[in-house]
Structure 1
Amino acid sequence: MKSKIGLNNFFKMKLKLHTKLILFNTIIIMLVALLLSAYSTSLIAKIVERYIGEKALAVSKVVSKNPYVIEKVKKEEGGGELQKYIEQLRKDVGAEFIVIGNENEIRLTHPDEWKIGKKMVGGDSWRALKYGESYISKAVGTLGPSIRGKTPVFDENNNIIGIVSVGFLIKDIRQIINKYATRIKLLVIELLIISTILSVILAKNVKKSIFNLEPVEIASLYNEKNTILESVHESIFALDKDGYFTTINKKGSEILGLPIKSIRGTHYSKYFICSEIEKALKAGEKFINIDLFIYNIPYLANIMPIKINEKLSGCVITLRSKDEFTVLAKQLSYFQEYTNMLRAQHHEFLNKLHTLNGFLSIGDYDTALKYINDEITNDVSFYNKITGTTSDKYLIALLIGKYNYANEKGIILDIDENSSLFNIPEHISINDLIIILGNLIDNAIEASLESKEKKVFISFYDYSNELIFEVTDTGKGIPQEIENHIFEKGVSNKQTKGRGIGLYQSYQLAKKYGGSISYKRYKNETVFTVILPKEVNK
């Protein structure tokens, strides 16, 4: 319990993560090294003791079977030649003592010659003398504590006539063990130094991988991230490099109709069909305001790749409801057309005031009055014609704006009085319709500037299951070299930079509803025809 509290206090210390990692790793490695050192020393001690004990036993067995030794033990002739022989053997094997005793444990040989003839001590010889066993024992003799190998000596009739005791002093064994222990300690010290260096390197790499932030800062950023994710109106999805969801905000889970936990870890292809996502994940491309459908509902998506150290690690997708933008676009389009209409009217009105001022200045009041009546009749006539063909205020605003813009450019813009469009299907965005017609009318006005007649004629019909729009101009038509590519992005018969967008945009919007745009050239006219199905394109 105390160690656990101490560990908690360690992590609560006001130290930097870098320092904590170094200290923690060093302490752990030190504890492991000390435990391994103690275990290794203990294991080596056991191995050395066992090895020396087996060596002592092996020597005692060899000596006990030596015929010369057996003969001397049988005759109980101690000292003398036997002493010299055994002492030389003791020195050769490195034993502390080789003692031979008779069946009564009376010494026949001993390193200290004055102890020959005296009884063996230690009390560990009885098993050999009584049962004829060979074994290893520990006992305290006249030379000190030792490990001994005991073997009985048998005569030719297999009778026990004596004993051989070979011993190594424990203090000498400990010196051997201490040599190994010293080496282990040096190795432990080296490991601690190396581990400390590696801990420093590891700590630096860990800090670098988390952008040198402290845990408190990371926690703060995490909370900030969650707050930001939930505060924005857009739906946000983060994918890893393989396309699996890692982060989703609440708005995103509402769009998919699933809890965040159920979405996280699943692949984006389960919900999105979007080739741009794959391009962002594989090639690092970014996409702004692209169309993305979820459950057949359109959204505007931004896709931004995520890079860490210049390596792709995923992407972020933000989604916004296209319906919201459609409403705003409708309003903006209406105000733009209304602004254009007012600007054109203002400009035209100034010109007419100047003309009227001229008539009045020269006193030609009849002509001035006729001029005023003609202008009122023309404007009222066009307005009545528009309102008699459609009731959509956005379309009316568009046509009035284009009418005034055409007048300003010296172009006669007229509408087929037989046109009729009072029920625009709900699935067709009026904003998209205005863009389609607006681009075609602008192109027609521009083309007619170069013609002698300078006329643009517009007609539209609600025919059976289709809406049909036609825009006719008196321009020179489409150049032959680009007529097969006129609906491609960037293709234009004008050399001005940034052209070639309008027809491409109108063509794409018509395709969106399963419709089409085509054109045909007559003698002195070019007719663009737009056909939009009234039923939803599935």
Structure 2
Amino acid sequence: MRMGKPFFSLQTIMTLLVCGVVALSLAVTDILISQEVADNTQKNLANKAKNIARIVAHSPLVIEALNGQRADTEIQPFANEIRQITSVEFVVVMDMKGTRKSHPDINKVEQPFVGGDEGEALKGQEYFSYAKGTLGMSLRAFTPIVTSTGKQVGAVAVGILLNDVNQAVAQSRQIIYISIGFGLLVGVIGALFLARKIKKVMFGLEPREIAKMLEERSAMLESVREGILAIDNDSRITLSNAAALRLFNRAGILGDLVGKKITDCVPNTRMLHVLETGNAELDQELDLFGITLVTNVIPLCVNGKSVGAIATFRDKTEIKQMAEELTGVLLYAEALRSQAHEFMNKLHVILGMVHMKYYDQLSTYISRIAHQHQSEIGFITRHIKDPVLAGFILGKMSYAREVGAELVLFEECFLPEPADPEVIHEIVTVFGNLVDNALEAVVDCPFKRIEVNFSYDEGVLSIEVRDTGPGINDELKSQIFSKGYSTKGPNRGLGLYLVKHSLEKLNGKIEILSEEGQGTQFKVSLPYKSKDEME
């Protein structure tokens, strides 16, 4: 399913999300804390007013003046001094009739207290009150004035204007707002840093791009025929594709492999060695409970650090089959090329004789070529009943003439049509490589002759290829079937190796008869079922 392009990038979404969370958290904090701060501020101001009122109420000067022991005019300057020192709005001392004995406005002294909330104070109660007086709405603290004998002679009211209270609360909240703003700024910076960090870790990819890459990677892993296995630094399997699971199931290892230790699944794996050394191991053979695999193991590195290892592997039987099929095709192609080259040379001779008008000689030459060709074709089709192998032998005969050698089939040779046509492919591989090996052996010899014989008897096919080359010593006889071994230079040594493997597949065997200076003879015998016998 094709995914549409989102309106915002991952970095923008993360920044908005983090900023939103931080803003919401700070807003909730403001709601919870600012009210608490406001309440505490009001409470502190009320306690301040109450403490001032108690100090004035316990002042000997005030008690004596209200008790008639000194002039009550001394109360006004004392109350104003307390007011100025404590920075409150007013300190009002009143007698038991509610008449003011002090006030910030001298003109209001000896006038009744305004507000209507002083009654409980004149009855001996201490409390707080909000009321509107001559100076406006205020927070008031009332305290009764009592003599040492317990007689109440008046009350004290200390007030703080409500505007001043609100201003103090606003100042307290301002600190919170500054903190919230700073926290929001830090949150934005942190969100931007986090978003960029995550973007860097994700190699600058958006989630939709990562999802697309994951889908493509999964599709590729499941589509390849090679098994793929990856492990981390703890040697635990982190990835396995369908081909790997099929091979492991054939080996008797069932279930999901991801999360398991690699040694629990493949005891003799080389992945741990690659993990330790950091060196790749290519084209190595591995026995997996009876199945031979060809593996390639390479270390996985990210930013120069090893993070694991990955192995690709395939059943060696499949690779061998592909190699043999490719070799057979090459042999067919080479035989056809040689045959075409031979006939091209003959056409050039015919063209030259036409230009020189040697018509009599031309007729003889064409008759001889036609007779030779028909003779070869007739002999081979009579003795080699499989058309594929017959055509291949004709091509090899043409190639031998091209390189100056002679390829001869015995008069008594015979190969019946096989019951299983697939076996001819293996026989072509065996015969073609033996003939090529023989042609290379006689290339520097004065007498270049290769003799070939096919014989069939009671379910056994025998193939003989004999050359007039220099022969093979006993030391080389034990090595010539090894992969890559050759006396002809590098990148050689596959022909006889493929012969050996084809014969192993057919349950056949090969024998070498050779002496130095006497040529070489290869004798092959293998099970072979004729189509006529099956009928």
Same topology, TM > 0.5: yes
Residue 442 (structure 1) aligned with residue 436 (structure 2): yes
Match of residue 92, structure 2, among 77, 87, 99: 99
Residue 65 of structure 1 deviates from its aligned partner by 4.7
Within the candidate set 470, 488, 491, 1:494 is matched to 488
User: CA separation in 2, counterparts of 1:117 and 1:519?
Assistant: 144
Q: Identify if the C-alpha distance between structure 1 residues 425 and 349 changes in structure 2 by more than 3 Å, giving closer, same or farther.
A: closer
Counterpart of 1:145 in structure 2 is 137
Q: Cα gap change, 1:503/1:364 in structure 2, threshold over 3 Å: closer, same or farther?
A: closer
Q: Distance in 2 between matches of 1:61 and 1:532?
A: 126
What is the deviation of 1:147? Answer: 2.6
Aligned partner of 1:35 among 27, 41, 46: 27
Deviations 1:103-149 (A, max 9, x none): 554444433344344443434445555474x4444333332222333
Tell me the residue number matched to 2:531: none
Distance in 2, Cα, partners of 1:43 & 1:514: 95
1:122 aligned residue (115, 120, 142)? 115
- Give the 5 Å matches for 1:255-266: none
* 1:5 counterpart residue number: none
1:89 equivalent in structure 2: 82
Q: Tell me how far 1:171 sits from its aligned partner.
A: 1.5
1:523 matched to 2:519 = no
Q: 2:130, 2:139 within 8 Å by CA — same for their partners in 1?
A: yes
Q: How does 1:448-527 map to 2 (within 5 A)?
A: 448-450=442-444, 474=469, 477=472, 487-488=482-483, 492-496=486-490, 498-500=491-493, 522-524=514-516
Instruction: Indicate conservation of the 8 Å contact 2:510/2:522, yes or no.
Output: yes
For the residue of structure 1 that corresponds to 2:166, the secondary structure is helix
Alpha carbons 2:144, 2:154 under 8 Å: kept: yes
Distance change in 2, residues 1:368/1:423 (3 Å): closer
Match of 2:336 in 1: 342
Q: CA deviation at 1:52?
A: 1.9
SS of the aligned residue for 2:141 comes to: strand
- Report sequence identity in percent: 24
What pairs up with 1:191-230 in 2 under 5 angstroms? 222=212
Please tell me the residue identity of whatever aligns with 1:52.
Answer: L
How many pairs align?
Answer: 498
> Whole-Å Cα distance in 1 between the matches of residues 508 and 116 of structure 2?
117
Q: Structure 1: which 5+ runs fail to align?
A: 1-11, 258-262
- The 3 A distance-change label for structure 1 pair 506 and 297 is same
Displacement, 1:96? 2.3
Q: SS at the partner of 1:98?
A: strand
Mapped pair 1:55 → 2:31: no
Q: Which residue of 2 aligns with 1:169?
A: 161
1:494 aligned partner, one-letter code: K
**Paired position in structure 2 for 1:4:** none
SS in 1 for 2:113: coil
Change (3 A) 1:100 1:38: same
Contact 2:19/2:187 (<8 A) preserved: no
Q: Give the secondary-structure state (helix, strand or coil) at the position aligned to 2:487.
A: coil
**Structure 1, residues 392-413: CA drift from partner, whole Å, max 9, x if none?**
x655555554454344331647
Please give the residue correspondences for 1:84-483 in structure 2 after superposition, counting only pairs within 5 Å. Answer: 84-130=77-123, 132=125, 134-156=126-148, 161-182=153-174, 222=212, 244=238, 336-349=330-343, 380-387=378-385, 391=386, 398=392, 400-409=394-403, 410=405, 412=407, 417=413, 422=418, 438-439=432-433, 441-450=435-444, 474=469, 477=472
Query: Structure 1: how far apart are the matches of 2:5 and 2:458?
Result: 80
Whole-Å separation in 2 of the counterparts to 1:485 and 1:164: 125
CA distance change for structure 1 residues 254 and 354 in 2, over 3 Å: closer, same or farther? closer
Structure 2 residues not aligned, in runs of 5+: 250-254, 529-535
Cα distance in 1 for residues equivalent to 2:170 and 2:314 = 76
- Counterpart CA distance in 2 for 1:346 and 1:205 is 68
What is the Cα deviation at residue 28 of structure 1? 4.0
8 Å Cα contact 2:72/2:101 also seen in 1: yes
Give the letter aligned to residue 140 of structure 1.
K
Q: 1:336 to 1:170 in 2, by over 3 A?
A: same
Paired AA for residue 523 in structure 1: E
Measure the CA separation in 1 of the matches of 2:457 and 2:78: 133
The SS at the match of 1:111 is coil
Distance 1:173 1:56 in 2: 12
- In 2, Cα distance between equivalents of 1:184 and 1:102: 44
Contact 1:300 1:319 in 2 (8 A): yes
Q: Aligned with 1:99: secondary structure?
A: strand
Letter of the aligned partner of 1:149 in structure 2? A
- Residues 229 and 291 of structure 1: CA distance in aligned 2, closer, same or farther (over 3 Å): farther
1:45 aligns with 2:38: yes
8 Å CA contact 2:269–2:286 kept in 1: the answer is no
Quote how far apart the aligned CAs of 1:53 are: 2.3
CA pair 352-120 structure 1, distance change in 2 beyond 3 A:
same
CA RMSD of aligned residues (A): 7.0
* Range with greater deviation from structure 2 (198-207 or 98-107): 198-207
Q: 1:164 to 1:335 in 2, by over 3 A?
A: same
Hey, what's the Cα distance between the residues in 1 that align with 2:427 and 2:62?
A: 124
The TM-score, its normalising length taken from structure 2, stands at 0.59
Q: Residue 281 of structure 1: CA displacement?
A: 11
